[in-house]
Amino acid sequence: MSEHILAHLSGADAVLGNLIRAVGPCRLAPEADCQPFRALAQAIAHQQLHRTAANSILARLVHTCGQGAFPTPQMVLAASTRSLRAAGFSFAKVAALRDLAEKTLAQVVPDAATLLALTDEEIIARLTEVRGIGRWTVEMLLIFELGRPDVLPVDDFGVRSGFRAAYGLARMPRPQALAAFGERWKPYRSTAAWYLWRALELRRAGTLPIPVERIRLPRIARRRRRARARARAVAATASAATARDSARRRPRPLRGGDASSAPPRRSGGRNRARRRRARRSRAPASRR
């Protein structure tokens, strides 16, 4: 690792510089030969599993499907669901593995030479089209397989936990706030992430240095707050519209005065005579 990179990070961030001196030289070394299909297939196998269990599944895949070598996309598509399940893949992972093979043959997942010519965001956009492959998985490939220098996986639990430990925070940093704070580490954010992972090892060993300064993360409005604000604005607009509609429906006063001042209607003579006859018919016979 270049001394220039470590000097840049130490000069940009005193806390990170203290961590770098405690950890020592960066041992981040990318793979010499990146094979996108193999790397993503291995990532699918490792999802939600311990490393030992995932390696056992991959070993069975090599033995049964690849006949001693890592299988090609054609071999994966030719294998039955039963054989892939016997290797240890769940139904969801079988579907993801086959989708990866299909998209590799369709060149959605490019070969190594094409991959190296793409930018980080272009690689993320293309590889996340594969079922079961998310942004975090591609970021790990960018750092450890392709050796891209400026990748900060802000959704990674280890990076966020290491940041919290190294900077003495009471709470876990939110991904958006960590991304904003990490702007100062450009263009070497991959190295910064590697040291944040090491911060957890130092904490477990009891050798994590005390932060040399207190920091305050950028305040970023939460999506829930923005959603509630939008909902309140919509409700206020609807309430105002309802009030206007009800005002339009109110009866208008009669000309020449208020509606309450209009003279009451008089009953005609026919109605009075009809009521008189009805009272006589209900009266007792002694009163007739």
Among 59-63, 125-129, 140-144, 242-246, which is the least confidently predicted range?
Answer: 242-246
- Look at residue 122 in the predicted model and tell me its pLDDT: 97
Domain assignment of residue 262, yes or no: no
**Residue 1 shares a structural domain with residue 50:** no
Please give the residue range of the domain that contains residue 140: 31-146
Dihedral Cα 192, 162, 157, 56, nearest 10 deg: 90
Q: What pLDDT, on a 0 to 100 scale, did the predictor assign at position 149?
A: 96
* pLDDT score, position 260: 47
> What amino acid is encoded at 144 in this protein?
F
What does the mean pLDDT of the chain come to?
Answer: 87
What pTM was estimated for this model as a whole?
A: 0.74
Known catalytic residues? Answer: 156
Domain boundary among 190, 219, 248: 219
Domain boundary among 182, 204, 219: 219
Q: What is the pLDDT of residues 207-226, one digit of tens each?
A: 999 998 888 888 876 655 56
Residues 120 and 43 in one domain: yes
What pLDDT is recorded for position 257? 47
Bond into 253 cis (ω within 30): no
Alpha-carbon torsion (182, 184, 186, 189), positive or negative: negative
For residues 61 and 126, state if they share a domain. Answer: yes
pLDDT recorded at residue 259:
46
Q: Looking at residue 95, what is its pLDDT? A: 97
Provide the number of structural domains found in the chain: 2
Digit-coded pLDDT (tens) for 65-94:
988 999 999 999 999 999 999 999 999 999
Same domain, 76 and 42: yes
Distance of CA 79 to the CA centre of its chain: 34
Residues 249-261, mean pLDDT to the nearest whole number: 52
